[in-house]
Amino acid sequence: MQNVFLFFWKNQFSILFILLEIIGFALLGSNSGFHQSQLHQTGVALSGNVYQIQHAYTQYLGLSDENAELREENADLLEQLINQPKRQSVNRDGYKVIPVQAINSTHHLKNNFIVIRSGSVDGIKPASAVIGPSGIVGIVHSVSDHYSSILPLIHSSTNINARLQRTSYFGQCHWVGIDEEIMTLENIPNHVVVNPGDTILTRGGGGIFPSGLVLGFAESSEKNESSGFQEIQVKLATDFKKINTLFVIENTLKQELDSIMIQTEAWIDK
């Protein structure tokens, strides 16, 4: 039995690559949006099964984190959420929190990913926020019945509305694909004083993340005199090399927010 697990462990990426290649060719050969959607969901499910084997083998060897650590992380996060208003202004109204566990993740690629062992049957929906014990993690991307993939902060297409806690100035935070511990916060005016260690929080304007969750901490800043804005290097609060216990946060009022934003944009464009 151990030899079987060892085979999957050593060849996990080759097996996953072959599966994804098959799905990719199928998608290229299909002109039907419905079929593409179904194949995409199948890809998430197949990937999840491969990662589930890997996760089971890790547990079999006794390399997974102890249950005591998971309980401690859960309790710590829940305590932060309950006591958050004392430290940061967070509006929890309309948000549903679902505890989940990651079964695989990457941190060394340009487009990293996380797979969790929870899907639509567990209430997981696309475009939901994902946080960990230390800070925000990413956004739910694809969902099958029992698995979901997450677009982490360390992905080339991730953009987060963020603000400086001390001054409330806000901008866009994105990852440049070099260091898995650093993101870049842009559109902060040059006259704003940024000190190393300043806390960077979610702004909440996109309707995915609640306002006031910790994203990271200012490490350095560089002013651009021609544009009038500075770039801030943000050290992420989440260590993506230790992804395990996570929480999915669904904004139950997001559809309402999206509707009012569409109406507002239409009114502005007139």
Task: Give the pLDDT of residue 113.
Answer: 97
Residue 68 predicted with pLDDT over 70: no
3-state SS record for the chain: CHHHHHHHHHCHHHHHHHHHHHHHHHHHCCCCHHHHHHHHHHHHHHHHHHHHHHHHHHHHCCCCCCHHHHHHHHHHHHHHHHHHHHHCCCCCCCEEEEEEEEEEECCCCCECCEEECCCHHHCCCCCCEEECCCCEEEEEEEECCCCEEEEECCECCCEEEEEECCCCCEEEEECCCCCCCEEEEEEEECCCCCCCCCEEEECCCCCCCCCCCEEEEEEEEEEECCCCEEEEEEEECCCCCCCCEEEEEEECCHHHHHHHHHHHHHHHHC
Question: Cα–Cα distance between 70 and 78 in angstroms, integer?
Answer: 12
**pLDDT class for 77, splitting at 50, 70, 90?**
low
Question: Cα–Cα distance between 170 and 39 in angstroms, integer?
Answer: 39
Comparing 73 with 138, the larger pLDDT belongs to 138
Beta bridge partners of 246: 100
Which residues, at least 6 apart from 269, have a Cβ–Cβ distance to it below 8 Å? Answer: none
The pTM (predicted TM-score) of the whole model is 0.69
Question: Cα–Cα distance between 146 and 161 in angstroms, integer?
Answer: 30
User: What are the pLDDT digits (tens) for 27-62?
Assistant: 555 554 555 555 556 556 555 655 555 555 455 444
User: What are the pLDDT digits (tens) for 87-114?
Assistant: 443 444 578 888 899 999 999 999 999 9
User: What are the pLDDT digits (tens) for 235-270?
Assistant: 999 999 999 989 999 888 777 877 887 888 888 776
Q: Are 155 and 111 in contact (CB under 8 A)?
A: yes
Tell me which CATH code domain 159-236 carries. 2.40.10.350
**pLDDT class for 9, splitting at 50, 70, 90?**
low
